[in-house]
Amino acid sequence: MQPRIEELEQLLKLSSEDDDFRVLGIWGMGGVGKTTHATVLYDRISYQFDACCFINNTSKIYMDGGVVAVQKQILRQALEERNLDSYDTCEIAGIMINRLHSGIKVLLVLDNVDQLEQLQELAVNPKLLCRGSRIIITTRDEHILRVYGADIEKFPKLNAFTIYKVPLLNSNDACELFRRKAFNGEEQSSSCVELIPEVLKYAQHLPLAIRVVGSFFCTRDATQWRDALDRLRNNPDSKIMDVLQMSVDGLQHEEKEIFLHVACFFKGEREDYVKRILHACGLHPHIGIQRILEKSLITIENQEIHMHDMLQKLGEKIVRHQFPEDPGSWSRLWQYHDFYQVLTTETVTNYVS
Final residue in a domain of this structure, among 165, 191, 212: 165
Q: What is the pLDDT of residue 335?
A: 75
How, if at all, do strands 299-301 and 304-306 pair?
antiparallel
Q: Across the strands, what pairs with 203?
A: none
Q: What CA–CA distance (Å, rounded) separates 243 from 321? A: 17
Q: Which domain holds residue 228?
A: 171-235
Residue 155 has pLDDT above 70, yes or no: no
Sheet with 51-55: list strands edge to edge: 51-55, 106-110, 133-139, 21-27, 161-165
Are 102 and 16 within one domain? yes
Q: What is the pLDDT of residue 266?
A: 95
Are 17 and 106 within one domain? yes
| Consecutive H or E run containing 169 | none
CATH number of the domain within which 292 lies: 1.10.10
Task: Encode pLDDT of 250-264 as tens digits.
Answer: 899 999 999 999 999
Q: Is residue 341 part of a domain?
A: no
Q: What CA–CA distance (Å, rounded) separates 141 from 312? A: 19
Residue 156 has pLDDT above 90, yes or no: no
Contact 71, 81 (CB under 8 A): no
Q: Is residue 212 part of a domain?
A: yes
Residue 167 has pLDDT above 60, yes or no: yes
Q: What is the pLDDT of residue 334?
A: 77
Q: Is residue 186 part of a domain?
A: yes
Are 9 and 154 within one domain? yes
Contact 140, 114 (CB under 8 A): yes
Final residue in a domain of this structure, among 165, 184, 217: 165
Task: Tell me 46's DSSP state.
Answer: G
Are 32 and 144 within one domain? yes
Average pLDDT, the chain: 89
Which of 7-21, 172-186, 321-335 is modeled with the greatest confidence?
172-186
Task: Encode pLDDT of 13-68 as tens digits.
Answer: 887 766 678 899 999 999 999 999 999 999 999 999 999 999 999 999 999 999 99
Q: Is residue 345 part of a domain?
A: no
Q: Is residue 188 part of a domain?
A: yes
Are 100 and 133 within one domain? yes
Are 103 and 245 within one domain? no
Are 8 and 99 within one domain? yes
Neighbours of 69 (CB within 10 A): 17
Q: What is the pLDDT of residue 83?
A: 80
Are 153 and 32 within one domain? yes
Are 212 and 245 within one domain? no
Final residue in a domain of this structure, among 149, 165, 181: 165
Are 128 and 183 within one domain? no
Q: What is the pLDDT of residue 234?
A: 85
Task: Encode pLDDT of 206-262 as tens digits.
Answer: 999 999 999 999 999 999 999 999 999 888 899 999 999 999 998 999 999 999 999
Task: Encode pLDDT of 82-115 as tens digits.
Answer: 888 878 888 888 888 888 878 889 999 999 999 9
Are 189 and 301 within one domain? no
Contacts of 117 (CB under 8 A, 6+ apart): 67
Are 155 and 178 within one domain? no
CA 70 to chain centre: 20
Neighbours of 291 (CB within 10 A): 20
Q: Is residue 292 part of a domain?
A: yes
Handedness of CA 298, 299, 303, 309 (dihedral sign): negative
Assign 3-state DSSP to the chain and report helix, strand, coil percentages, each to 5. Answer: 55, 10, 35
SS3 286: helix
